[in-house]
Amino acid sequence: MATLLRRLAMPGCSSRRCLGVILREMHSRTSPLNPRDGPRLLAGGSLPLTAYSRTHSRWQHTKAADPPEVELHRLEGEDNGIVEVLMCRHKARNALGFVFVSQMRGLVSSLSEDSAVRVVIFRSLVPGVFCAGADLKERARMNDAMSDSFVHMLRTLMTQIASLPMPTIAAMDGAALGGGLEMALACDLRTAAHSAQMGLIETTRGLLPGAGGSQRLPRTVGMTLAKELIYTGKRVGGQKALEMGLVNRSVEQNETGDAAHREALSLAREILPQAPIAVRLAKEAMDRGIEVDITSAMKIEKMCYALDRKEGMDAFIEKRPPRLLWRRAATGVCVYRLSGARSVALQALQNALSQQLDIFVGLWVCVHQLQLLQAALLQQHATVASGCRHTG
């Protein structure tokens, strides 16, 4: 059984494609399958199930020609160094489904290794919405194990966004609810239109924030206010969000519906001229320092400052880009200099863990498909047996 599951989890597995064909045929038919249909189905008489792979994780069938749900846009000219992550799952209001999350994870992973990226803006191309949160229709079709694996994948995505070495900005021109607001909270900065609605509304549906919202919201607006927002599932507009510190800037929506994006772009342009290494190390010092006591945080700040100062000054005097190298701090702890790429060892570990997670999810998909097939065959057998008793 273990060997079968490993084989089914491999990308392009012909046995799994056949299994997908049989399941879809059984689902679409009103009468039981005829054993004589077997050769046709096994020969691929229907469309094959999309292979589950590390780069395009899918638990449901999707056409090869489906447009991407997340895209990357690199600005040029004076805005060179600003990159926009475009969310464009129009049919589902950018709901966080398997394909969306998988594509976003791959894209964010590539950004973390790109030294040319200075600022990242997350924005939506779907009018009136930033991200509507979890895809509840898709989630309803998952069993408990698949749901747990997907939530883990979603948490990993939010951590990836929060761990990007360059500044990140969420531009909310529309609703950011549940997981959508959690994504925005994973960013360093947030802009919003006055008309945008934001909220961690999971408690209104018998759930709780499961992708970091219960931890990042208190760190953003304070514990007392965060508890009120989560307990009540309250939605707030852009102006109220600005008052409570949930967003950095809030602006009146314009006729084209992209006021928050324009404000985010303006903010990115303010960051762009600043020394990129200093900005990244400042982010590192703040993000790491907030998790420890003030004494330890001051040591982190000192470490980042010492690492950056000499090389930055030398590069300025010599009129060259700074060199980003590994250094050993006075404490004897090996510390890496921030660049577009994290340390090779750390990145390799992250990639390996990500790949293992995707394989695990793929195995659960296969197990679920086998369970469905078994249940359908048992039902068909019972129907045939009942028919034989009546005819006898």
Vertex 117, ends 112 and 120: CA angle to 5°?
80
- Between strands 334-335 and 327-328, the pairing is antiparallel
End-to-end CA distance of the chain: 38
State yes or no: is 25 an active-site residue: no
Residue of 134, 176, 260, 264 marked active site: 134
Q: Does 348 participate in catalysis according to the annotation? A: no
Given a contact cutoff of 8 angstroms between Cβ atoms, the answer to whether 1 and 24 are in contact is: no
Active-site option among 69, 84, 182, 284: 182
**Phi and psi at residue 280, in whole multiples of 5°?**
-65, -40
* Gap between the Cα atoms of 64 and 70, Å rounded: 15
Strand duo 189-193 + 327-328: pairing: unpaired
CA neighbor of 97 nearest in space, from 66, 69, 72, 63: 69
Strand 70-74 vs strand 82-87: parallel, antiparallel, or unpaired? Answer: antiparallel
Q: Which of 97, 179, 199, 213 is catalytic?
A: 179
Long-range Cβ contacts of 319-328 (<8 Å, 24+ apart): 322/277, 324/115, 324/277
CB 85 within 8 A of CB 122: yes
Active site residue 95: no
> From the candidates 69, 202, 263, 284, which is the catalytic residue?
202
Cα dist from 166 to 340, 345, 346, whole Å: 8, 20, 17
Q: Cite the active site residues.
A: 134, 179, 182, 202
